[in-house]
Chain A
Amino acid sequence: MAKHNEINILIIDDETVLREGSERILSREGWTTATAENGESGLSLLEKNEFQILLLDLMMPGISGMDVLKEVQEHYPELLVIVVTGYATIENAVSAMKNGAYDFIPKPFTPDQLRLVIQRAIKNLTLKREAELLRLEQQKSLQDIANEKNRTLTIINHMADGVLVTDQNGCVVLHNPAITRMLELEKELPVEKNILEWSGNREFTEMLENVLNPKNSHSQGISRELSWGEPLQRFFIAHSAPVRNEQGDILGSVTIFNDVTRFKELDRMKSDFVNMASHELRSPLSSIRQQISVITEGLAGEISTGQEKILNRVLQRIDGHIAMISNLLDLSRIEAGRLVQQKERIILPEIIEEVVELMSGEAEKKGITFKVTIDSQVFPVHADRQSMETVLTNLVSNAIKYNREGGAISINAQNSGEFVELKVSDNGVGIEKENLSQIFDKFYRIRTEKTRQVVGSGLGLPLVKDIVEAHLGMITVESNPEKETTFTVLLPRGMN
């Protein structure tokens, strides 16, 4: 294709005066011209060079202008042909136009008339070129969109996660092979039918209804664990989010399914293993403990003070180990999200009393006294009883273990906004600042001269933290080394 602004004009005319006159007029305008005196030489020029406009005399000896026109239409359809004809043969001009000529100019013509008709042709050429450019551009954009669409589809179709897209009515508009596999669906999803009707899964239906509900317009999405199918149950983590337009109206939903069936299975195997291991670990320890305590109680004959001292130390170590096994077990349960499943209405002060009662023996041995302050208006909490006992037992047990002889422990329960605040303080060895951040880490134990004699597993506080957080609460610690340590637990209030 010729350069954008380049205009080459071919003049085919047997009359020398007209041919040369036209060439002069057009050259003066800056257009490139070529001339031919008959049809044959004109056609051969067309073969060799590229022209945009042809000024063609119809009445010529040899090949007629009409034949040249036909030839041009066949081989150079882009070429704009302006026919030149006398008034007497105006019908010829009309039939030339019918045969594809762009314009005509009657003979004789003035230079202005010629310029005008050529300028019109050039304008037409320019418009045509611009239109062509636009068309190409549009084609490219369409291609880009198609490519983008293809890319997105390829990504979606090859994702290991399942993808399900619905419109605002819950009808499926897009899904990938993974979801078909996961949910064991028919290849073709019932497109017209609302997913809420055919999924048959109540949890999923609820989730999607929530996401699509225009009232939840600020919602960013929901993640939930779903179980699906019978009898071979599969488990998914589904992340569902609304799709919105620019105005923020909900147009539909996108849900990504992550298959966690295998993880669940592994988790169950882990739990079974932990159950088995802890039973096998605990049983012999229990048996050993029982036998030693028979000796220390003097039931198997007199023992010396020295022997009793050693055996009591052995008992302590065994207790430490038994506690560690219990904590390990609890921790593996809470990691499986099981420990806090039986929530009920709990009055914390009751549990505090139970735990203080339970631990009073141990406290007495070190001459430690309790100071319990409970606000009688303290809210009940919605929690798992056993978990709450574990929290308090661990905190109080630590307060005893890390306390000094004849120390004191204060336990406080009061309301704090929408939370119940529980404080357990001791005036024992305290915790150095650099250790504070690590005390909730698993198996972390502070080893100093003062704590060396304390039996512990390093699992108590991580367990407490996990439980508190599983109840949507939080735990913090403050300490003044050599003076006191306070653990503060905040638990959200339950219904009255």
Chain B
Amino acid sequence: MAKILVVDDDPDLVESVTIILESKNHEVVQAYGGIEGLEKAKSEKPDAIILDVMMPDKDGYEVCKELKGDTEYSNIPILLLTAVVSQIPNSTYTSRMGMETEADDYVDKPVEPGELVKLVERLLAG
């Protein structure tokens, strides 16, 4: 079906998302950090990206911004996996909230398998 890049620093989460997506016959490319995610987005040219926000090496907002700022990759739809924590005023992530709009969609973790599938379908449909 589609090639989807899953980026999260938590390998367990990457694994479970992979299982969910593979159950719908999608091809999954895994990345375990922001930098690796960015590299794979460029080398693998996936049809969609599921991107965690809070990652130690390079956070999801930055990855998203770089991809959306590059015309070669800006059309790849991105689903941001946010945490409620990212909405706290005065925290490091709040100042970058505005960038969320650059992503095509976002959802709070944890996400139900059924909902994730729906969101990905919507993402792929554009």
Chain A residue nearest in CB terms to B15: A291
Question: Which residues 79-126 of B have a CB within 8 angstroms of A?
Answer: 83-85, 87-91, 109-114
A297 to B114, CA, bound (A): 8
B57 contacts the other chain (CB 8 A): no
A302 to B88, CA, bound (A): 40
With contacts A282-B84, A299-B20, A329-B84 taken as known, whether A338 is within 8 angstroms of B15 at the C-beta atoms is: no
- Tell me the A residues contacting B by CB distance below 8 Å: 268, 271-272, 275, 278-279, 282-291, 293-294, 297, 299-300, 322, 326, 329, 333, 338, 341, 386
B78 contacts the other chain (CB 8 A): no
Interfacial chain B residues near A329, Cβ < 8 Å: 84-85, 88
Interfacial chain B residues near A288, Cβ < 8 Å: 12
B16 contacts the other chain (CB 8 A): yes
**Minimum distance in angstroms from B39 CB to a CB of chain A:** 23
A326–B84 CB distance below 8 A: yes
**Minimum distance in angstroms from B122 CB to a CB of chain A:** 17
Interfacial chain B residues near A341, Cβ < 8 Å: 89
Interfacial chain B residues near A294, Cβ < 8 Å: 16, 19-20, 113
Interfacial chain A residues near B90, Cβ < 8 Å: 268, 271, 338
- Interface pairs (19), CB distance under 8 Å: A271-B91, A275-B88, A275-B91, A278-B85, A279-B54, A283-B54, A287-B13, A289-B110, A290-B16, A290-B109, A290-B110, A294-B16, A297-B20, A299-B20, A299-B23, A322-B110, A329-B88, A333-B89, A386-B87
Interfacial chain A residues near B13, Cβ < 8 Å: 286-287, 290
**Minimum distance in angstroms from B11 CB to a CB of chain A:** 9
B10 contacts the other chain (CB 8 A): yes
B48 contacts the other chain (CB 8 A): no
Interfacial chain A residues near B88, Cβ < 8 Å: 271, 275, 329, 333
Interfacial chain A residues near B91, Cβ < 8 Å: 271-272, 275
Interfacial chain A residues near B10, Cβ < 8 Å: 283-284, 287
Question: Which residues 22-67 of B have a CB within 8 angstroms of A?
Answer: 23, 54
A322 to B13, CA, bound (A): 16
With contacts A287-B13, A322-B110, A338-B90 taken as known, whether A279 is within 8 angstroms of B19 at the C-beta atoms is: no
A333 to B87, CA, bound (A): 11
A284 to B83, CA, bound (A): 12
A279–B83 CB distance below 8 A: yes
A279–B85 CB distance below 8 A: yes
Chain B residue nearest in CB terms to A332: B88
| Total chain B interface residues with beta-carbon distance under 8 A | 24
A284 to B85, CA, bound (A): 14
B17 contacts the other chain (CB 8 A): yes
A282 to B108, CA, bound (A): 11
With contacts A290-B17, A294-B19, A322-B110 taken as known, whether A282 is within 8 angstroms of B89 at the C-beta atoms is: no
**Minimum distance in angstroms from A464 CB to a CB of chain B:** 17
Contact of A338 among B89, B111, B112 (CB under 8 A): B89
B15–A282 CB distance below 8 A: no
**Minimum distance in angstroms from A477 CB to a CB of chain B:** 27
**Minimum distance in angstroms from B16 CB to a CB of chain A:** 4
Interfacial chain A residues near B17, Cβ < 8 Å: 290
Chain B residue nearest in CB terms to A338: B89
With contacts A283-B10, A287-B13, A290-B16 taken as known, whether A297 is within 8 angstroms of B85 at the C-beta atoms is: no
Interfacial chain A residues near B87, Cβ < 8 Å: 386
Interfacial chain A residues near B109, Cβ < 8 Å: 282-283, 286, 290
A59 to B85, CA, bound (A): 113
A278 to B86, CA, bound (A): 11
Chain B residue nearest in CB terms to A325: B84
**Minimum distance in angstroms from B64 CB to a CB of chain A:** 19
Given contact pairs A275-B91, A283-B54, A322-B110, a sample of 7 additional A-B residue pairs in the complex whose CB atoms are under 8 Å apart: A271-B90, A286-B83, A290-B17, A293-B16, A297-B20, A329-B84, A329-B88
Interfacial chain B residues near A297, Cβ < 8 Å: 20, 113-114
Residue from A284, A291, A300, A333 with most neighbouring chain B CB atoms (10 Å): A291
Q: Which 6 A-B pairs have the closest CB atoms?
A: A286-B110, A289-B110, A286-B109, A290-B16, A279-B85, A291-B16
**Minimum distance in angstroms from A357 CB to a CB of chain B:** 14
Chain B residue nearest in CB terms to A342: B89
**Minimum distance in angstroms from B83 CB to a CB of chain A:** 6
A290–B111 CB distance below 8 A: yes
A114 to B45, CA, bound (A): 134
Interfacial chain A residues near B84, Cβ < 8 Å: 278, 282, 326, 329
Interfacial chain A residues near B113, Cβ < 8 Å: 293-294, 297, 299
Contact of B12 among A271, A279, A287, A386 (CB under 8 A): A287
Interfacial chain A residues near B19, Cβ < 8 Å: 294, 299-300
Contact of A291 among B12, B23, B54 (CB under 8 A): B12
**Minimum distance in angstroms from A275 CB to a CB of chain B:** 5
**Minimum distance in angstroms from A422 CB to a CB of chain B:** 24
Question: Which residues 1-23 of B have a CB within 8 angstroms of A?
Answer: 10, 12-13, 15-17, 19-20, 23
Interfacial chain B residues near A322, Cβ < 8 Å: 110
**Minimum distance in angstroms from B23 CB to a CB of chain A:** 5
Chain B residue nearest in CB terms to A293: B113
Residue from B16, B17, B19, B54 with most neighbouring chain A CB atoms (10 Å): B16
Contact of A293 among B54, B83, B89, B112 (CB under 8 A): B112
Interfacial chain B residues near A300, Cβ < 8 Å: 19
Chain A residue nearest in CB terms to B52: A283
**Minimum distance in angstroms from A297 CB to a CB of chain B:** 5
